[in-house]
Each structure stands twice: as structure tokens, then as C-alpha cells.
């Protein structure tokens, strides 16, 4: 237990160091911007205000206002009965949350990192995900499991894993992966209102990033539909499907590819389960090429599932093999230089897209 506590203290210290760098840009007169952190905070605040059955529970969500300040101000506004600080016992407070959902409450369970959700995996899978089916629809479990997922920076293998494919493989769960502030705000509201358990996978490095946000998204009734991907950039030559932080990498890669005359269509998946295969296949049938991007491991990954869907539904439209860009098939290294090699980079996406478009120099020719 002392090692878990020490790890969490290190995470808090890391956040404090980064918070001075990842500052929120001021809203401009021409259009508003919002950080992902503020988008999540405002969504939870509004849903707690609208529905007294919604409450938050987790380590340091109250007095400390969240390890990453997602729950800032909520304890003061709603009190300790609805913003509940817990001991370091993921299995305990997750089980309490699932039991509360059985009785009609709407818990939001925060994990300081989804790596620690492994302590509570029995409650998430066996108690939450399967109960509706096993009860013939008599038991709903309206609960949200949320927190940072995937690689951060310099926190080692036990704090860096992407669990999108893990949870995405389990029937009964909905698995969401926001990228922008509008994603975060709209998907969080949809998750809290949903009658089923939702795994909400955030990214620590996105918390402090600002994104343009529309007036529509600032309305308290705004939601992003669960299971609907978003085309972030249109293109005609190659489809790039990504989620969470990798959407930003894909968009930057698309800018680079455009300089070489390659039009990349970037799809922000937003939802891993259900997966919007119609949008993906429609894009592939237009571009005839596909690159998938994720931070997770290659074997049994989200990209592998997308590839299977495209082969099953759009094989005859493909003009090149599907390219998968994934994290390295090793536990995350601690050393900064090895860590960079273990997660996808923008240049990896550019090279894969060029291979798919037969625009790269063959290795034999380069030799």
C-alpha cells in the first residue's frame, strides 16, 4: 500500500509542476476557448446541479479538489455528502459506487489513473457491466468511471498503460475517449445521463490544452451522442482514425501530408464502445486507404478491431494494406528517450500515410 501511496504522491507533484506550463488561454473576443479540464469540471457541475442523484467519489476529489483539479469547487458547492473523499482503496469505493447505482443514484467514480482501476476490475466488469443482462434488464447501473488513461510523461509502466482495448472488449460497458473541450463536455454529460456503466478515458496531457468551443456546447443541454465519431478534417487520399491525444497527432500529421499533396481525412473516434464503424467505413470507401493510431499495445488493440471491420465491410475498396500505428509492445520505459520511442509520434503517422499512398521511398531503393 505504501508504494501505491508514494506513486500517487508523485503523480500529484508531477501535476503541480505541469500546471504552470499547461495554463488556460484567455477567452478571445472573436471566439471562446476552454481547457479540457474546465470542460469536464463544468459538465460535472451542471449535471450535479440538475440532478441531486449525481455524486462524485474518489481519492482527493474533495478537500484537495482532485489530483488534476477536475472536481475543483464542487465540495464547497455541494458538500461532503455528494463529493466524497475516500481512502486509497479502489476496490472499496468502486464497489460502493456500483451498489449506489443499483439503487438509482448516479455515481461518478474517479480513478487517479486508470492503471489503478485494476484494483477494482471485478466491480467494473462483473458487478457493473454484466448486471443489466443477467437481470433481464431489471437492473440498470448508471455509473461513470473516469480518470486519466494512457501515457503521461515520466511516470513509468505502472502509470502509463492505455486501457481502451481492455474495457472496449467487454459487453455491457460504454467506453468514451474525448479529445477536445467540446468532446469532454458533451461526452461527460452524455455519460452521466446514460442508464448504463460508462468508462470515461481522459488524457492527463490534454487537461490543460485549450480548444475553441461553440456557444451551443456551452449550453447546459448540450451532449455529444455516444457512439458517434467526428470527422475533424476532410480528405480524399487516406483515412486516419485516432482517439484521445492521438487525434492531435493525426491532425498535425495531416498538415504535414498536405504539403506533399496528400489529403488526409482525420476521424476522431470519441467512442470505443460502441464503435462508429459506419463512419469509418464510409471514409475508407472514399479514400481507399486507412491508418489507425493509438497509444495502446498492438496485439488485440483498437486498431486491430477497426482493421477487422474494414476488411469485413470494405475490403474491395482498399487500394493498399491497412497501416496500424500503436505503442511499442513493451511496458512503458521510464527513461525519456525510450519513452518517446514507445509511443506513436507525428512522424510515424506521416510515414505510414505515405506508405499507404505509395509515396514513400522503398527501403531497397534507399539502400
Q: Is 159 a catalytic residue?
A: yes
- Cα 355 from Cα 317, distance rounded (Å): 17
- Cα 35 from Cα 37, distance rounded (Å): 5
- Cα 297 from Cα 258, distance rounded (Å): 28
State the CB neighbour count (10 A cutoff) for residue 171. 10
In terms of DSSP bridges, do strands 230-233 and 264-268 run parallel, antiparallel, or are they unpaired? antiparallel
Burial class of residue 206, CB neighbours in 10 A (0-12, 13-18, 19+): buried
- Cα 237 from Cα 251, distance rounded (Å): 14
- Cα 352 from Cα 238, distance rounded (Å): 10
- Cα 325 from Cα 348, distance rounded (Å): 7
Q: Give me the long-range contacts of 308-312 (CB less than 8 A, separation at least 24).
A: 309/275, 309/277, 309/280, 309/281, 310/280, 310/281, 310/284
- Cα 61 from Cα 66, distance rounded (Å): 4
Q: Which three cell numbers stand for residue 352?
A: 505510414
Residues 88-119: b if buried by 16+ CB within 10 A, e if exposed:
bebeebbbbbbebbbeebbbbbbbbbbbbbeb
Q: Is 123 a catalytic residue?
A: no
Using only C-alpha atoms, the chain has a radius of gyration, in whole angstroms, of 20
The catalytic position among 46, 159, 182, 232 is 159
Residues 140-157: b if buried by 16+ CB within 10 A, e if exposed:
bbbbbbbbbbbbbeebbe
The catalytic position among 46, 47, 59, 90 is 90
Report yes or no: 292 and 242 within 8 Å, Cβ to Cβ.
Answer: yes
CA distances from 175 to 29, 140, 158 (A): 35, 17, 21
**Three-state DSSP string of 68-97:** CCCCCCHHHHHCCCCEEECCCCHHHHHHHH
The residues annotated with a catalytic role in the active site are 90, 159
Amino acid at each position: 500500500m505504501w508504494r501505491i501511496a508514494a506513486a500517487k504522491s508523485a503523480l500529484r507533484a508531477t501535476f503541480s509542476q505541469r500546471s504552470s506550463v499547461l495554463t488556460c488561454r484567455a477567452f478571445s473576443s472573436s471566439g471562446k476557448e476552454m481547457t479540457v479540464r474546465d470542460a469536464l469540471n463544468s459538465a460535472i457541475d451542471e449535471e450535479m446541479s440538475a440532478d441531486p442523484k449525481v455524486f462524485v467519489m474518489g481519492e482527493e476529489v474533495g478537500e484537495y479538489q482532485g489530483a488534476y483539479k477536475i472536481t475543483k469547487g464542487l465540495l464547497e458547492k455541494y458538500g461532503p455528502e455528494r463529493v466524497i473523499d475516500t481512502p486509497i482503496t479502489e476496490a472499496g469505493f468502486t464497489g460502493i459506487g456500483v451498489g449506489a447505482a443499483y439503487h438509482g443514484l448516479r455515481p461518478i467514480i474517479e480513478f487517479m489513473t486508470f492503471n489503478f482501476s485494476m484494483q477494482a476490475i471485478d466491480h467494473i466488469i462483473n458487478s457493473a457491466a454484466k448486471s443489466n443482462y443477467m437481470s433481464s434488464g431489471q437492473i440498470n447501473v448508471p455509473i461513470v468511471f473516469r480518470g486519466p488513461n494512457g501515457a503521461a510523461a515520466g511516470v513509468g509502466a505502472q502509470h502509463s498503460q492505455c486501457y481502451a482495448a481492455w474495457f472496449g472488449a467487454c459487453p455491457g460497458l460504454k467506453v468514451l475517449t474525448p479529445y477536445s473541450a467540446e468532446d469532454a463536455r458533451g461526452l461527460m454529460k452524455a455519460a452521466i445521463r446514460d442508464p448504463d456503466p460508462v468508462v470515461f478515458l481522459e488524457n492527463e496531457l490534454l487537461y490543460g490544452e485549450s480548444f475553441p468551443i461553440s456557444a451551443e456546447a456551452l449550453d447546459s443541454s448540450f451532449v455529444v451522442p455516444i457512439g458517434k465519431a467526428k470527422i475533424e478534417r476532410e480528405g480524399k487520399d487516406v483515412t486516419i482514425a485516432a482517439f484521445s491525444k492521438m487525434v492531435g497527432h493525426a491532425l498535425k500529421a495531416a498538415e504535414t501530408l498536405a504539403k506533399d499533396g496528400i489529403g488526409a481525412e482525420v476521424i476522431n473516434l470519441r467512442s470505443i464502445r460502441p464503435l462508429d464503424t459506419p463512419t469509418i467505413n464510409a471514409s475508407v470507401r472514399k479514400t481507399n486507404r486507412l491508418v489507425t493510431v493509438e497509444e495502446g499495445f498492438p496485439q488485440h488493440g483498437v486498431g486491430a478491431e477497426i482493421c477487422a471491420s474494414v476488411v469485413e465491410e470494405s475490403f474491395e475498396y482498399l487500394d493498399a494494406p491497412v497501416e496500424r500505428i500503436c505503442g511499442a509492445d513493451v511496458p512503458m520505459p521510464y527513461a525519456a528517450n525510450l519513452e518517446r520511442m514507445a509511443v506513436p509520434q507525428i512522424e510515424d503517422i506521416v510515414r505510414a500515410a505515405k506508405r499507404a499512398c505509395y509515396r514513400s521511398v522503398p527501403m531497397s531503393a534507399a539502400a
